[in-house]
Structure 1
Amino acid sequence: LYKFGETVSIVFWTDTWRPESFFDKVKKNRQNGMHTLCLLDIKVKEQSLENLMRGRKIYEPPRYMSVNQAAQQLLEIVQNQRARGEEPAITEETLCVGLARVGAEDQKIAAGTLQQMCAVDLGEPLHSLVITGGTLHPLEMEMLSLFSIPESQIAPDAVE
């Protein structure tokens, strides 16, 4: 893939904090026909609010956002925008590319719809997600077809 726009970070949501502001960059990139690289959240050496307030140096186990979690959050943003009467920049059918452990011997790459990204199994972290910019060059399409998500790679419990 080439023609990348601004990179965005997708963070873990909490009960009280569910930012959608990064989605404006996704929209701008798509309007300009550019792909969006989404860097996914990493939580290491984080303290719980209780431990932080009590001054205890006890840390939560590390967490790494998966492509599945990022795709689910993106779909929720799409639904929220529709509920507000807005036209979302992407849909369930938007072509995306899931990446895991790029450069390692066990790297995985999967191309499919945003909806499929909710169920694809890319294994261990670290993951990233690319949201395509809309129209793709024929060479991009040819290359992505090599990484098209086969049904066997979709978790059985995720298929409705």
Structure 2
Amino acid sequence: MIFETNRLRVRKLTISDINDFHKMQSDTAVMRYITGKVATFEESSVKLNEWIFGYENNNVKWPYAVELKEDGSFIGICGIIEKNEIGYRFLREYWHRGFGTELVESLLVFSKQIGLKKLKANVIIENVGSYKILKRAGFVVVKEDICKYTKLPEYLMHLDL
């Protein structure tokens, strides 16, 4: 386990996460603001295995699985991407339940514990829910840009820890 919140547990991904992981990666609503395209089962499997292999080589800080403490259900992923960028996504059925806010608050604590002094976040401007979560957590917009993956306008946000 990496860390816990009141309702969530953050842990390393495992191959047993593949079905839920693929469900998330193949959902157009979830991936709209991430890559702009959905993944095939094979693509999801390759990505999941790549990240698991990264743990074994101690060269990955991202992503971790997010699960419900009450029953161990996989609900999404989170972590600190290279260059101190915070990232997270959830299966659609777990949206609008406060998990994003709870997770981001704990990611900030985790970031401090591992010695980070500053965090970045990129959020598609249309993704109002994530923008509000990041703003409440103290992130400030420093620039507007175009996302290299989705080609949608995005905010580049920073937070000093």
TM-score category (smaller protein): under 0.3
Task: Identify the structure with the greater helix proportion.
Answer: 2
Say which structure, 1 or 2, has more relative contact order (CA 8 Å, 6+ apart): 1
User: Could you tell me the TM-score, scaled by structure 1's length?
Assistant: 0.27
User: Could you tell me the TM-score, scaled by structure 2's length?
Assistant: 0.26
